[in-house]
């Protein structure tokens, strides 16, 4: 898994955009603001808890602006369905290009860790955390918020 100080791999992925589909590039997002890139393995209660916690987070308390990007190893139709079901205010990206592997969150069995990375405006990882021990409840975002506050 990538660690603080590591360069974040740039990516171009399709994602949800106001009920439709748009193209997202990490470097374009971080040109404007730091980004939180969160990976979830699928549409499970634990993954939904992570995505919902990110939607409910008080980002303004630690940063003037932040881009939140959810990443799911699924096709864009599955991402649209999940984003709509959870009313996500941020895009959910379809990882059809192995971005989870590049960030080091793909497990040996092929599944993906529930994890989040804070990426600064130079496209460097500033914080990384794994949420695999969730039980369907909202995971603590302390490390993510702390990483943003330190920018």
Block means of pLDDT (10 residues each) for the chain, length 151 residues? Answer: 97 93 96 96 91 93 93 96 95 96 95 96 96 74 92 90
Tell me what pLDDT residue 136 has.
65
**Helices (H), ranges, the chain:** 26-32, 45-56, 76-86, 99-102, 142-149
Domains defined for the chain, CATH in brackets: 12-149 (3.40.30.10)
* Nearest-angstrom CA–CA distance, 128 and 118: 7
Strand arrangement of the beta sheet that strand 115-119 belongs to:
20-25, 12-17, 92-94, 67-72, 35-39, 115-119, 125-130
Tell me what pLDDT residue 138 has.
74
pTM over 0.85: yes
* Nearest-angstrom CA–CA distance, 44 and 117: 20
Tell me what pLDDT residue 63 has.
87
* Nearest-angstrom CA–CA distance, 75 and 113: 18
């Amino acid at each position: 898994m990538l660690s603080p100080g590591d360069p974040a791999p740039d990516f171009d992925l399709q994602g949800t955009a106001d009920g439709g589909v748009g193209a997202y590039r990490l470097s374009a997002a971080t040109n404007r603001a730091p980004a939180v890139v969160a990976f979830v393995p699928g549409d499970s209660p634990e993954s939904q808890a992570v995505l919902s916690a990110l939607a409910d987070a008080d980002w303004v308390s630690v940063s003037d602006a932040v881009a939140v990007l959810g990443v799911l190893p699924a096709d864009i139709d599955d991402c649209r369905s999940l984003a709509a079901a959870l009313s996500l205010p941020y895009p959910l990206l379809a990882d059809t290009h192995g971005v989870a592997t590049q960030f080091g969150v793909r497990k040996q069995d092929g599944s993906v860790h529930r994890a989040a990375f804070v990426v600064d405006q130079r496209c460097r990882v500033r914080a990384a955390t794994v949420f695999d021990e969730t039980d369907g409840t909202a995971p603590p975002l302390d490390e993510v918020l702390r990483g943003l506050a330190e920018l």
